[in-house]
Amino acid sequence: MTTIEHWIGGGTTAGASTRRGAVWDPATGRRQAEVLLAEPSDVDAAVRSAAKAFESWREVSLSRRARIMFAFRELVHRNVDRLARIVSEEHGKVLSDAKGEVVRGLEVVEFACGIPQLLKGEFSEQVSTDVDAYAFRQPLGVCAGITPFNFPVMVPMWMHPMAIATGNTFVLKPSERDPSASMLVAELYAEAGLPDGVFNVVHGDKTAVDALLDHEDVAAVSFVGSTPIARYVHGRASASGKRVQALGGAKNHAVVLPDADLDFAADHLTAAGYGSAGQRCMAISAVVAVGAAGDALVERLRDRARAIRVGAGTDPDSEMGPVITADARDRIVGYVDRGERAGADLVVDGRGLTVPGHADGFFVGPSLLDHVGTGMDVYTDEIFGPVLVVLRAGSLDEAIDLVNANPYGNGTAIFTSSGHAAQRFQRRVTVGMVGINVPIPVPMAFYSFGGWKDSLFGDTHIHGAEGVRFYTRAKAVTSRWPDAAYGEHHRTHLHFP
């Protein structure tokens, strides 16, 4: 059985870890590896290594930092298929989807390659007689990233290229459920010429997370995961004086107006609801069908959900893979049971699905529930599985009120052929990322990613310009160079300058 170790100071180490976590193959239900779970002393070793590396990394020229990022970019690009396979084997998502996540992560690396441009400061000459003012941004020190299981390559890449390019050093605590991709990323950084200690990986659970949140040498924490843990991480790390961005869970609504192309909407909602077995923070999990759109849309969603080919992620014929663990499967099935009992109309039932040759895999088929009420837990909770619920609304404004009443505010979408309706929706909706006839509006790397309300704690979104700001702090300088040769007189003034 393979044991996955930490990556500290430029190489693998078991440190003081003795506890182990299981890494499953979700398609077969087999335990395929074990990951070490860090003790506080392992976290301390990683942070100390990063703090030491910071002393010299912060002095490395911008062009050299950019050159290392370019080299890393080439290596990730060359290893897209290898990274995607690791993701598919441990997470379960289909290979094409895994490849997509690696490429979206790569886009952040490409953005970080432009760091000399992104870090240009501001300068104003002659703000007073012979006085200049300027401002520039400096790195914070050791930054930590704590990431979820559902995007083991992309979500860490929202963080570490930005933190490292801006001159920080980094300790990543990836999800213990699919830890291997982070080890290949560490190797690729080393091959790209990144000095030892600039990028470190500690595997672990709550013990490792708490040690990072409390460590006095960690300056900033980026977290992505579920809302309860995001809220906790934000509170605890803020209390110990750190800068924190903590992105949480979601319940993303798609509003479908009767004037929409319903076939187009159904195709995209099927992909957004069931892709990656619904385990995306930007998955559409609630459809709000307005007026006459309802029955015709549900019919189309039903036909498409029934046609999805479910199988192992590494099988090229599969469109949807298993979910991450047996517990996740049982939890999802429990939601479908309760939704049906609460009176929702179970249009497609994904419970009890078996995939030939994979009897012990963590599979659950696509489910579709119609006439769902806002009080049912299939609606109030983030299920994080292949379950799409349909609610009905009488008008666009009623649909907007419904979306806004939900405590989450990560992503949302509207399907319509009316520019006016789309404009009203984008202006009024209290959600951070909005799609217009685009079901999963994940911003490109040169914008910033982030939700509102219970989907984000802290005020900075991730990557893009906000990422540069998060990982740096501004310094403003006011400067004068008096020269007696030019007859400057020096007198004492006690008034405020």
Q: Which residues of this chain interact with ligand NAD, rule CB under 6 A? A: 146-151, 155, 173, 175-176, 205-206, 209, 224-226, 229, 247-250, 281, 382, 384, 410, 451, 455
* Helix (H) or strand (E) segment spanning residue 347: strand 345-348
Helices (H), 176-325: 180-191, 206-214, 227-239, 262-274, 293-307
Report the alpha-carbon distance of residue 363 to residue 359 in Å, rounded.
9
Write down the residue that tokens 């990063």 correspond to.
Answer: 50
Report the alpha-carbon distance of residue 119 to residue 472 in Å, rounded.
9
Supply the minimum distance, in Å, between the C-beta of residue 37 and ligand NAD. Answer: 9
Nearest to 399 by CA among 411, 412, 387: 412
Q: Which is nearer to ligand NAD, 136 or 452 (CB)?
A: 452
Supply the minimum distance, in Å, between the C-beta of residue 407 and ligand NAD. Answer: 13
Supply the minimum distance, in Å, between the C-beta of residue 34 and ligand NAD. Answer: 15
Q: Which is nearer to ligand NAD, 260 or 383 (CB)?
A: 383
Supply the minimum distance, in Å, between the C-beta of residue 441 and ligand NAD. Answer: 12
Q: Which is nearer to ligand NAD, 148 or 365 (CB)?
A: 148
- Looking at residue 275, what DSSP letter applies? G
Report the alpha-carbon distance of residue 426 to residue 396 in Å, rounded.
12
Supply the minimum distance, in Å, between the C-beta of residue 372 and ligand NAD. Answer: 19
Q: Which is nearer to ligand NAD, 95 or 209 (CB)?
A: 209
Distance of CA 75 to the CA centre of its chain: 22
Q: Which is nearer to ligand NAD, 75 or 284 (CB)?
A: 284
In the bound state, the residue with its beta carbon closest to ligand NAD is 225
Residues with a catalytic annotation lie at: 281
Q: How far is the CA of 200 from the CAs of 13, 304, 322, 404, 484, in angstroms?
A: 11, 43, 30, 40, 53
Question: Residues 6 or more apart from 75 whose CB is under 8 A from it?
Answer: 188, 191, 192
Q: Which is nearer to ligand NAD, 133 or 271 (CB)?
A: 271
Supply the minimum distance, in Å, between the C-beta of residue 158 and ligand NAD. Answer: 8
Supply the minimum distance, in Å, between the C-beta of residue 471 and ligand NAD. Answer: 17
Q: Which is nearer to ligand NAD, 137 or 329 (CB)?
A: 329
Instruction: Provide the token pair at 416.
Output: 């319509």
Which pairing describes strands 433-436 and 411-415: parallel, antiparallel, or unpaired? parallel
Report the alpha-carbon distance of residue 98 to residue 108 in Å, rounded.
16
HSE, CB side, 13 Å, CA atoms: give it for residue 345: 10
Instruction: Provide the token pair at 205.
Output: 């659970």
Supply the minimum distance, in Å, between the C-beta of residue 250 and ligand NAD. Answer: 5
Report the alpha-carbon distance of residue 362 to residue 155 in Å, rounded.
23
Q: Which is nearer to ligand NAD, 42 or 382 (CB)?
A: 382
Tell me if 213 sits within 8 A of 235, measured CB to CB. Answer: no
**122-132 residues labelled b (16+ CB within 10 A) or e (exposed):** eeeeeeeeeee
Burial class, 489, CB count within 10 angstroms (exposed 0-12 / middle 13-18 / buried 19+)? exposed
